[in-house]
Amino acid sequence: ELLHAQVRNEELEASQRTLRVKFAESEHAAQAQAHAQTHGPVPRGPGFALRTETRCRIRAAENEQKRLQRRIVAFEEAAQFTREEHVEELEVFRARLGGLQRAKEAGERYIESEEDAWIAAKQQILVEEASAAEMRSEMRRALVESGDSRD
Q: What is the pLDDT of residues 12-65, one digit of tens each?
A: 888 888 888 888 888 877 777 777 777 665 555 555 555 677 777 778 778 888
Comparing CA positions, the residue from 50, 49, 55, 63 lying closest to residue 17 is 63
Mean pLDDT in the chain?
Answer: 84
Q: Would you say 66 and 17 are in contact if contact means Cβ atoms under 8 Å apart?
A: no
Q: Structure pTM?
A: 0.43
